[in-house]
Amino acid sequence: MKTQTEYLTFKTRRKREYHDITDEVAAVVKRSGITEGMVLVSAMHITAGVWVNDHENGLLADIDVWLESLAPYREDYRHHETGETNGDSHLKSLLVGHQVIVPVTAGRLDLGPWQRVYYAEFDGQRAKRVIIKAMGE
């Protein structure tokens, strides 16, 4: 079995941002030489997430509004008693998940016609990493 591990680093300008990282993930798969297998994409921070969904700006805006309605920024999170101010970011990460596994077939990401891989930052403005680990034959 072959493996290829690479990292992406993000330092966002805003607290919440969403980035399409599909091309970066596909490039890792290509460099790996894997033709059949899978690729794990995982946010290495507990206030970030990774998901697969449609590449459409209206949907991204809807997801942002939905996440903020379910886990709004508030000052009264118990987590804030530790000196942190990102309780909502932890909850948003739980809602979208922190990792995905994408199949690799014939040397390419085997996504549906509209599917893209996204990195979601919920507590940005500092460096954070994503691990991409391609595995297969």
pLDDT of residue 119: 98
Residue at 126 is within a domain: yes
pLDDT for the residue 37? 98
Residue 87 has what pLDDT?
95
**Is 79 within a domain?**
no
CA 136 to chain centre: 22
In a domain, 18, yes or no: yes
- How far is the C-alpha of 25 from the C-alpha of 12, rounded, in Å? 19
Task: Give the integer Cα–Cα distance in Å for 86 and 47.
Answer: 8
Could you tell me if residue 128 is inside a domain? yes
User: What total of structural domains would you count in the chain?
Assistant: 1
Domain of 11 in residue numbering reads as 2-74+84-136
Which H or E run contains 126? Answer: none
Residue 29 lies in a domain: yes
Task: Assign residue 55 the CATH number of its domain.
Answer: 2.60.120.460
* Ordered per-residue pLDDT tens for the chain, 137 residues: 999 999 999 999 999 999 999 999 999 999 999 999 999 999 999 999 999 999 998 999 999 999 999 999 999 999 999 999 899 999 999 999 999 999 999 999 999 999 999 999 999 999 999 999 999 99
